[in-house]
Amino acid sequence: MNDLAMVLAPAPFDELSALAKASGDPLRLGVLRALANASFGVLELASIFDIKQSGMSHHLKVLAQAGLVTTRREGNAIFYRRALPAPARLGGQLHQALLEEVDRLGLPAATLGRLASVESQRANARQNFYSRMEENSVPSKT
């Protein structure tokens, strides 16, 4: 392939470049680590990593453009989770190796504490929801 053809068809290089860019930031690597076993909304992730929502949204956009995270909608909320690597795709082996390496790392204690707090808030919200549902389903005595 000559140089002109390479300029006209940069898509494969763009994909690998996006993956390298996404993995080149410590915060984004931490987000991938936090998403190893759960999915979170942008506000939850902003709380866990103690940054502004707009900053977290930017990092999630970079991760999504690289194919490292996917989204799931529940009502008005959007939850982010790690995308599964596809080793046969361009960059798939790099994606898989990146997640394997990230999973060997631990999150800082302060981040783990905030993550536990978010999980506790979720548990309380679930409990409150089920309590309200139970109260509403009990027939009133008249």
Whether residue 12 lies inside any domain: the answer is yes
Classify each residue of 47-57 as buried b or exposed e, where b means 16 or more C-beta atoms within 10 Å of its C-beta. bbbeeeeeebe
Q: How many domains does the structure of the chain reveal?
A: 1
Is a pLDDT exceeding 60 seen at residue 7?
Answer: no
Domain span holding position 10: 3-137
Integer angstrom CA distances of residue 10 from 6, 24, 36, 57, 69: 6, 21, 31, 27, 23
Q: Per mean pLDDT, which range of 5-14, 19-28, 78-87 is the poorest?
A: 5-14
**Residue 103 lies inside a defined structural domain of this protein:** yes
The dihedrals phi and psi of 77, each to the nearest 5 degrees, come to: -90, 145
- Tell me if 142 is assigned to some domain: no
Comparing 119 with 9, which gets the higher pLDDT?
119
Q: What is the pLDDT of residues 67-108, one digit of tens each?
A: 999 999 998 889 999 999 988 888 899 999 999 999 999 999
Q: What is the domain-level CATH number for residue 133?
A: 1.10.10.10
Q: 28 in a domain, yes or no? A: yes
Q: Has residue 36 been placed in a domain? A: yes
